[in-house]
Chains A and B, each alone.
Chain A
Amino acid sequence: MAFEYLDHEADVGIHATADTLEEAFEEGARAMFNTMVDITKVESRKKVEILASADSVESLFVDFLNKLLTKADTEGMVFSRFRVMITHKKTYTLTAYAWGEPLDQMRHDIKTEVKAATYSGLKCWNDTGGHHVQCVLDV
């Protein structure tokens, strides 16, 4: 499981890889929060639930990230650990748990706000390296 940042002129591109699709989503979420704070400094003190659904895996990924941002804002929290479950019948449905704690401006090494996960550069694919997810974050 890993994530990296891509070169995008104006904002931040994230690319995450893992053995399963769900783990790739989890890594993507870690990449996003790592843009905001140092996630190694975020403790798993509280758990929240995220629900999302979409017609495609790609839209599901963006919806998941944006719902996390909303939750972070409304609860005043940042998250560093995730557990994602995806089911697919007619549409894709996601249930996820995110663990984190209230944002601490002293302890968490504040970086930047993320305005939204966009559809720009949005891709989900798999190859010999595993499952990949990618998109651009508007900062």
Chain B
Amino acid sequence: MENIDVRKLDEYRWEVPKKGEMLVPGRIYGDRDIIDHLQADIKAGKEWNALRQIVNVACLPGIQKASMAMSDVHPGYGFPIGGVGAFDMKTGVISVAGVGYDINCGVRTLKTGLTRAQVEKKKGALADALFEGVPAGLGSTGDIRLSVDKIDEVLVKGAEFSVEIGYGFKEDLEYTEENGKVRGATPENVSREAKQRQFKQVGTLGSGNHYLEVQYVEEIFDDTVAKAYGLVKDQVLVSIHCGSRALGHQIGTDYLKTLEAASKKYKIPIRDKELVCAPIESDEGKKYFGAVNAGINAAFANRQAIAHLTRKAFSKAMGVSEESVKMLYDIGHNTAKLERHLADDGKEKQLLVMRKGATRAFGPGRDEVPKAYRKVGQPVLIGGTMGTCSYILHGTEQGMKETFGSSCHGAGRNMSREQAKRQWRGDNIINELSKRGIIIKGHSPAGVAEEAPGAYKDVNEVVEVMHNSGISKKVALLRPMICIKG
């Protein structure tokens, strides 16, 4: 049974000391409870354990500062979920594990001009309109039917493509990370299978932990930042959580094989088959990054399309104009990005930052942050567990210094789907939440049970850690009113 040392630095910062083949220490943002949970996995001899993954990532060539894990840390594939690794361009590597199968899975939040009371009156009709209007669940198909060459346009233009075909407004792009379109996408490095799987899936929600949620602002924690974001108490928001759909999944599957061969070719030790990688500047590394950028754009295009369908549903059920539903922000939490940061050699330079189940949380002054938010830092959209609550945080200078401007992404699971299904039944959960005034509409009762609030860590605890450590600070707490699940 392996033993991984974890040392307390302070209440919210813990270190896995640099040992053996580690090139940097591990750095975990958590409280005692979160760390105990990680160590319990080791004691129980669990094969899939996050501490081991943090250590493995710390051994990757070119990694800067630390192998990091945010407060929602739990076991992933190669990288832990909540994992962040920044790499030097010349000596560093890129890995499917650092990005994940659902490339640019993320959250888009829109603000309506409606109050909680106004939506309460027509909640049922709104829930129906959203359930019918937004395709979700296994086998669902979108309205946008694409041919191979049109898919290539989606992969290069991202959200801009969706706007061009009439899904949403040009103004939306300014309030999307990367303006909804990353450069460096190379559709030629995305397989035909990946594109074929995507044909009917643009504008669909997917399933698993993907959702669309109508929320109201219950509490504001920071008046200045809330004002900059245009948030007020009782205001109704809507959040969409999904990613690049089958295209992203296929890219992951395709490149795992490529990077496995590359690891052997470049003699990079394979500690975990999911953690195979290639030097960033190698042929294989460049091809994969080009494909990742294509996947990132596919997800932006998808969320842009779904936002449009959401606006249509609001317009239909609530009688408001589509324009009255405005962008707050759109973030990704499974990405690899080129960003300027302070590297270990003391120079400011471009690094490749991989965030797997972790959100970019840039602080005040950064060019990447929309002008309207630049004084206060970007919004960090933390998806909550179904039926509990969600948070909006803001990025800070502290976060820029410590975590390359990264934060958590959600509550994180603490129980297997099998266990959740044994403990809860979908219809009971739906009834219970309905008694509390929350409408859940899902395409699968078993899927609802798997997403039961009890199967997740407490999102409040996860967010408190990031807030108290100063990495990203609370702006607003949101409560659910309607949840559409795939």
Contacts and interface: CB of A to CB of B under 8 A. Distances in A.
Contacts of A138: 77, 100-102, 249
A58 B416 CA distance: 24
A47 interface: no
Interface string B408-419: 000001111111
B287 to A, nearest CB: 19
Contact of A110 (B74, B137, B274, B414): B137
Contact of A36 (B77, B138, B419): B138
A11 B242 CA distance: 16
Given A11-B417, A112-B208, A66 B274 contact: no
A118 B193 contact: no
Contacts of B197: 70, 73-74
A113 B486 CA distance: 9
A122 B273 contact: yes
Contacts of A9: 48, 74-75, 413-416
A138 B253 CA distance: 11
Nearest to A10: B413
B419 A7 contact: yes
B419 A74 contact: no
B115 interface: no
A82 to B, nearest CB: 19
Contacts of B379: none
A69 B197 CA distance: 9
Contact of A10 (B76, B248, B252): B76
Contacts of B64: none
Nearest to B102: A115
A5 interface: yes
B253 A110 contact: no
B196 A74 contact: yes
A110 B48 contact: no
B444 A112 contact: yes
Interface in A77-102: none
- Interface band, chain A: 35 or more
Nearest to B50: A9
A6 B46 CA distance: 12
B20 interface: no
Contact of A70 (B76, B137, B250, B416): B250
A8 B452 CA distance: 16
Contacts of B138: 36-37, 103, 110-113
Contacts of A111: 138, 444, 446-447
B284 interface: no
Nearest to B450: A112
B206 interface: yes
B446 A103 contact: no
Contacts of B47: 121
Nearest to B418: A5
Contacts of B446: 111-112
Given A10-B74, A136-B48, A138-B77, A115 B101 contact: yes
Contacts of A7: 416, 418-419
A130 interface: no
B425 interface: no
Interface string A99-138: 0000101000111110111111110000000000000101
Contacts of A11: 417
Contacts of B253: 66, 116-117
Nearest to B443: A110
A139 to B, nearest CB: 5
Interface string A58-72: 000001001001100
Contacts of B274: 118-120
Interface of A: 5-13, 36-37, 63, 66, 69-70, 73-74, 76, 103, 105, 109-113, 115-122, 136, 138-139
17 contacts: A7-B416, A8-B48, A8-B418, A70-B193, A73-B196, A73-B246, A76-B139, A103-B139, A105-B443, A110-B138, A112-B450, A113-B486, A115-B252, A116-B249, A119-B256, A138-B77, A138-B249
